[in-house]
Structure 1
Amino acid sequence: MADTPRLLIPTLSAVNFIVGMGAFLTVGLIEPIADDFAVTDAQSGALLTTYAILYAVLSPLLVSLTGRIGRRRVLAAGLAILGLAALISALAPTLLTLHISRGLAAMGAGVITPVTAAVAAQLTAPERRARTLAAVFAGLTIAQAIGIPIGGWVAYTFGWRYAFAIVALLSIPALIVLWRIVPAGLSFAPVSLRDLGHTLRDGPLMAAVLFTATFLCAIFVLYTYFAPLLAADMGFARDGITLAFFVFGLGAIVGNYIGGWISDRIGASRTLLILTLLQIAVLPLYSYLPLPNTILMLYTFVWSLIGWSFGAAQQVRLVALDPARAPVLLSLNAACIYIGAAAGSAIGGAVIERASVSSLGLAATLVMLAALAHLLASNRATSRRKRA
């Protein structure tokens, strides 16, 4: 196993910061965008659905089609596309243009996230793999803690277009650092559309991959409309919403590392089961707001910590199931993140329109119960697959 080049993991993490901010920035911009284009919060929230669906479709295809290209070139191209998309978003004259630019952003991010994961997994010893993946994805969690709250504050203060402009500007130095640090010609066993097809036809493997979608679907039922919920039930404005997203981001950073640490000790499957049960216990409270501000912030920290402990454990589980197909599995896993986000945001929007924003916590709990059933069935299927 090759030694990991110095500064490679921090560089991949920094790139994922741009991806994380570019992907989920719209969560903090729902109300400013809705006000600017004179649409409902649900219609504004559909921007995340557009991004998520196109990411889910494009990511596995692009990873397979670029399997023979050096990893540095693939990552650089993805980051350049993501930065261009952010610039178009900042200048978008209509909501339709904004939807199109979010699709372009999904194309760029769709190769970055799974490729960074595959590079880190292949260059790391199995006993340290969860912690290394957690380090690579620390950029995504730091984006939750810093990037998205700052973007939301900028949007409420100066306008949502400036928030997208920040992403476009950050992509320039990130691209330069990426090109200098990632070695030229870095590549692994190439994957192809045939590999993708074989994986898609493997029932137990796909059941394991799709758990990512069901778990995160439950999270995004609530998270997509977290800002409108806080505004309606807690009376929060710009500063309160920004603080809540900052606290959520701090929980994401801690959870990312705790998830990797626990997985290396008790195993990925046990970790995932514990996290799912904890989510079922936590989510209902958000249907019973208002709460004292301090209690709400502590609760939000815990909710985020539990949710963001998920990523490293699930990726380690998938790599262990079939190491030879790790790049394809990780690209499908990344796609399922956004399938879950798309489904969750759609369910959340329907709940708001047919019931109320206050019902989101209970709705998310019901989806998480379905995720628990999915996990148990998936574990049984993969156990039978190993025995066979």
Structure 2
Amino acid sequence: MKQFKVQSFVLVLIAFTLGFSEFLIVGILDDLSKQFGVSVATVGYLVTIFAMVYAISTPFITLLIGKYNLFWSLMVLMGIFTLGNTLSLVAQSFVFLVISRIITALVSGVAISIALSFVGYISPMARQGWLLSWVFSGFSIASVLGVPLGTWISTNFGWRISFLTIIGISVITMGLILLSLPRGFKQKGSSIGGQLALLKDHRIQIGMFLPMFNLAAIYVFYTYLRPIITTQLHFSTGMLTILLFVFGLANIIGNQTSGKLTEGPGLKAMPKVYVTQFILLVALPFSFNYSWLGAFLLMMLIISMPLLNSPIQIHFLQVAEKDYPQSIVLASSLNSIFSNFGIALGSATGGVMVSHFGMISVGPGGAVYTLMTFCLVVWLNHLNQKLAPQSL
């Protein structure tokens, strides 16, 4: 039991380290802008580039490493991740910094996919939902604690020390991986074509669009969270910091609740979640004249954002373990891949909505994607129920 707790901690630490690196840029935009003499908007493209490289590269690299030992693959990927952050540390030009971030993004998605694969390998079925929820919470903790820490370090000691902090945590994480995780973990050997057979399954085809539209719905408004809080709900700058921290905690609560769902109804609970989310999004613009009501609606929406994580991850893993054991890592990567596509889709949609209709439109705009997510999860639940005797 003690070994399982240590291994669980290491998997959460991997997620925290990867999330810390991914989200840090948001907190040090101004410092990087001054350092390299480019606009804040230009530095902001680092976030977009990272997300797109992460989403596009992950499935290809996942397929290539599928036949190798997953423990040593994870060690190599974390080594490249550390190298990428080291290159960011020593970057002397903005172009060099972009290249270093691309290197980091190339391996981040595959590393978390392997970490999620380890969940099924080291934990009994009854504990998988609990552990998955904590691994996903690692990213939330990185957002709530890691980014403010990185920002504070950057402000007081320089942005390079922020990257040095990530490197230090990464080295410690690699040491703990080496000491604690089982080294014989391999998925069933198969060709790339054999691994891709997973994607022919209708349960996977429907399921992989759920995290995309789920996050697209949220990011239509979440991209503009700060201006919504300050200009629409009229909170002070000081209150903004407090609310962002509270919303970060709300995200952790959502992740933990997501784990609880896997012990109960799982995906069967999600239609009710999306009905509630739809109502909240439609009501959001009407709350803009009532500061605390608006803050409450935002908090409830942020809690709803990660509820899908553990149930859909368990769904992917169960389908792969039973019918496509050669595709476990690919199955583990689908949630993170399509979540990043969803972030890009939602952010782009939000930009169009705000440009043409103003900030008041982001709630109803997100509700359209929520409706699509609702239809998909109802369809998937029907398909799972229909195929239950033969498969799941």
Length-normalised TM-score, structure 2: 0.84
SS in 2 for 1:186: coil
Larger displacement relative to structure 2 (11-20 or 333-342): 333-342
Q: Give the drift of 1:327.
A: 2.6
Identify which of 305, 308, 311 aligns with 2:306: 308
Q: Give the drift of 1:156.
A: 6.8
Amino acid in structure 1 at the alignment position of 2:196: G
SS in 2 for 1:376: helix
- Measured in 2, the distance between the counterparts of 1:7 and 1:383 equals 36
Q: Which residue of 2 aligns with 1:377?
A: 379
Deviations 1:224-245 (A, max 9, x none): 3323443443566764443333
Amino acid in structure 2 at the alignment position of 1:377: W
SS in 2 for 1:7: helix
Larger displacement relative to structure 2 (248-257 or 320-329): 320-329
Q: Which residue of 2 aligns with 1:223?
A: 222
Q: Give the drift of 1:75.
A: 2.0
- Measured in 1, the distance between the counterparts of 2:363 and 2:43 equals 20
Deviations 1:221-267 (A, max 9, x none): 2223323443443566764443333212211222212111122112x
Q: Structure 1 pair 119/218, CA: closer, same or farther in 2 (3 Å)?
A: same
Q: Give the drift of 1:315.
A: 0.8
SS in 2 for 1:134: helix
Q: Which residue of 1 aligns with 2:114?
A: 115
Q: Which residue of 1 aligns with 2:177?
A: 178
Amino acid in structure 2 at the alignment position of 1:320: Q
Is residue 69–residue 185 contact of structure 2 (8 Å, CA) maintained in 1?
A: yes
Amino acid in structure 2 at the alignment position of 1:301: M
Q: Give the drift of 1:164.
A: 4.3
Q: CA RMSD in A?
A: 3.3
- Measured in 1, the distance between the counterparts of 2:210 and 2:262 equals 17
Q: Structure 1 pair 38/207, CA: closer, same or farther in 2 (3 Å)?
A: same
- Measured in 1, the distance between the counterparts of 2:81 and 2:283 equals 36
Deviations 1:299-321 (A, max 9, x none): 44322222122211111122233
Q: Structure 1 pair 83/206, CA: closer, same or farther in 2 (3 Å)?
A: same
Is residue 86–residue 167 contact of structure 1 (8 Å, CA) maintained in 2?
A: yes
Amino acid in structure 1 at the alignment position of 2:270: L
What does 1:1-388 align with in structure 2 at a 5 Å threshold? Answer: 5-28=4-27, 39=39, 41=41, 45-89=44-88, 92=91, 96-152=95-151, 163-190=162-189, 192-234=191-233, 239-266=238-265, 268-284=266-282, 286-287=284-285, 290=288, 295-323=293-321, 324=325, 325-386=327-388
Deviations 1:131-187 (A, max 9, x none): 221133331222232123434555677776655454333222222222222233333
- Measured in 1, the distance between the counterparts of 2:103 and 2:44 equals 17
SS in 2 for 1:137: helix
Amino acid in structure 2 at the alignment position of 1:343: L
Deviations 1:75-95 (A, max 9, x none): 222223333333444555555
In terms of Rg, which structure is larger? 2
Q: Structure 1 pair 353/218, CA: closer, same or farther in 2 (3 Å)?
A: same
- Measured in 2, the distance between the counterparts of 1:166 and 1:291 equals 42
SS in 2 for 1:283: helix
Is residue 13–residue 138 contact of structure 2 (8 Å, CA) maintained in 1?
A: yes
- Measured in 2, the distance between the counterparts of 1:96 and 1:220 equals 28
Q: Structure 1 pair 357/46, CA: closer, same or farther in 2 (3 Å)?
A: farther
Q: Give the drift of 1:17.
A: 0.5
SS in 2 for 1:187: coil
Is residue 187–residue 328 contact of structure 2 (8 Å, CA) maintained in 1?
A: no
Q: Structure 1 pair 298/8, CA: closer, same or farther in 2 (3 Å)?
A: same
Is residue 49–residue 343 contact of structure 1 (8 Å, CA) maintained in 2?
A: no
Larger displacement relative to structure 2 (334-343 or 283-292): 283-292
| Structure 1, gaps ≥5 residues long | none
- Measured in 1, the distance between the counterparts of 2:290 and 2:106 equals 41
Amino acid in structure 2 at the alignment position of 1:72: F
Is residue 271–residue 374 contact of structure 2 (8 Å, CA) maintained in 1?
A: yes
Is residue 78–residue 108 contact of structure 1 (8 Å, CA) maintained in 2?
A: yes
Is residue 129–residue 262 contact of structure 2 (8 Å, CA) maintained in 1?
A: yes
Matched length: 385
- Measured in 2, the distance between the counterparts of 1:309 and 1:195 equals 31
Is residue 71–residue 182 contact of structure 2 (8 Å, CA) maintained in 1?
A: yes
Is residue 220–residue 345 contact of structure 1 (8 Å, CA) maintained in 2?
A: yes
Q: Give the drift of 1:97.
A: 4.3
Q: Give the drift of 1:208.
A: 1.2
Is residue 4–residue 123 contact of structure 1 (8 Å, CA) maintained in 2?
A: no
Deviations 1:176-226 (A, max 9, x none): 222222233333434542233212333442211221111112222222332
Q: Structure 1 pair 345/152, CA: closer, same or farther in 2 (3 Å)?
A: farther
- Measured in 2, the distance between the counterparts of 1:95 and 1:174 equals 28
- Measured in 2, the distance between the counterparts of 1:162 and 1:261 equals 38
